Amino acid sequence: MIQWDTHMHTTFSGDGHVSPSDMAKTAREKGLDGIIFTDHLDWDYMSEPGRFDLDIPAYYSEMKELQKNKNDDLPEILIGIELGLQEHLVSRHRQILAEYAFDQVIGSIHQVDGLDPYYESYYKGKDIYEAYEDYLGAAISNLSLFPEIDTFGHLDYVSRYGIRHFGAETGTLRYEDHKASIDKILEFLITKSIALEVNTGAFRCEMTEPNPSYDIIRRYYEMGGRLITIGADAHYAEHIALSFEEVRDHLSEIGFTQYAVFKKREPIMLSL
Ligand SMILES: [Zn+2]
Ligand SMILES: [Zn+2]
């Protein structure tokens, strides 16, 4: 069983809707042992400037309070963050991680050349190959510059929204079509002991597989990767632990027996 959801958003995120305590209570009702809050910090988010400028001191202190008030209605709570990686933000991100003791740092690509694949503007003038290669290229360059993350969020995030633009049939990012770039990312993650995140938020975006899709997860396993984190990327309480059972079965079938929960930036391995 997957007893932890390690990726979720609260009202501290520019696109969050639910308070931290309500998210935590729902997680408990759903039977989880623990959760990691990972609100967005996307500095210089050009698609909507300022929207994801997390109030870090307020976020951190409220999460600390919630941790202290632990009771049976709440699961174990860890404090994480989802950093929107951009090449020019490296030193600012380093500073934040030196200043705040987060349990888990997710690194995610939400902006490629100042554009979020969530918006139509990202696809202007790009065919599907370019749209996806540009995204994977940004992942490689950002990871190389800033490998100090614990887990790499939703590797094929671009596909989550690309299917709206290119259609579900052709829009899914397939390993076969981007082998070299994907292998480069996976190799880097394995070498640096950065986890590959399995993000089930895909299931609320009309996808039938998590981000990344199973062919990419399978490739990671083949290459020797064993460090995965699992999160539903919930922005509403109802999405906490979304499709965890189904995903667990697929992961076991691929060969995984464990998943990681990062506490104080160190992975704790739990049985799937
Ligand atoms: Zn994200
Ligand atoms: Zn997220």
pLDDT of residue 37: 98
SS3 240: coil
Instruction: Note the pLDDT tens digit of each residue in 23-64.
Output: 999 999 999 999 999 999 999 999 899 999 999 999 999 999
Helix extents (H) in the chain: 20-29, 56-68, 90-99, 128-145, 157-166, 168-171, 179-191, 214-222, 244-254
Ligand lying nearest the CA atom of residue 5: 2
Whether 52 and 45 have beta carbons less than 8 Å apart is answered as: yes
Nearest ligand to the C-alpha atom of residue 9: 2
DSSP state of 213: P
Please tell me the distance between residue 179's alpha carbon and the centre of ligand 2 in angstroms.
25
CATH number of the domain that residue 156 is part of: 3.20.20.140
Strand partners of residue 253: none
* Token pair listed for 4: 């932890």
Q: Which tokens go with 141?
A: 């360059």
The number of the ligand nearest the C-alpha atom of 39 reads 2
Contact indicator for 211, 229 with CB cutoff of 8 Å: no
| For ion ligand 1, residues whose CB falls within 5 Å | 108
Q: What percent of the chain has pLDDT over 90?
A: 93
> What range defines the domain where residue 52 resides?
4-271
Q: Please say if the pLDDT value at position 14 is more than 80.
A: yes
38 C-alpha to center of ligand 1: Å? 9
Residues 228 and 252: their CA atoms lie apart, in Å, by 12
The count of domains in the chain is 1
Residues 216-264 have pLDDT tens digits of: 999 999 999 999 999 999 999 999 999 999 999 999 999 999 999 999 9
- Centroid of ligand 1 to alpha carbon of 212 (angstroms): 12
Please give the distance, rounded to the nearest whole angstrom, from the Cα atom of residue 2 to the centre of ligand 1.
20
182 pLDDT band, cuts 50/70/90, is very high
User: 233 alpha carbon to ligand 2 midpoint, in Å?
Assistant: 5
Instruction: Please tell me the distance between residue 160's alpha carbon and the centre of ligand 1 in angstroms.
Output: 11
Q: pLDDT digits over 60-78, tens only?
A: 999 999 998 878 889 999 9
Point out the ligand nearest to the CA of residue 84.
1
Residue 47 Cα to ligand 1 middle (Å): 14
Answering whether pTM is above 0.95, one says yes
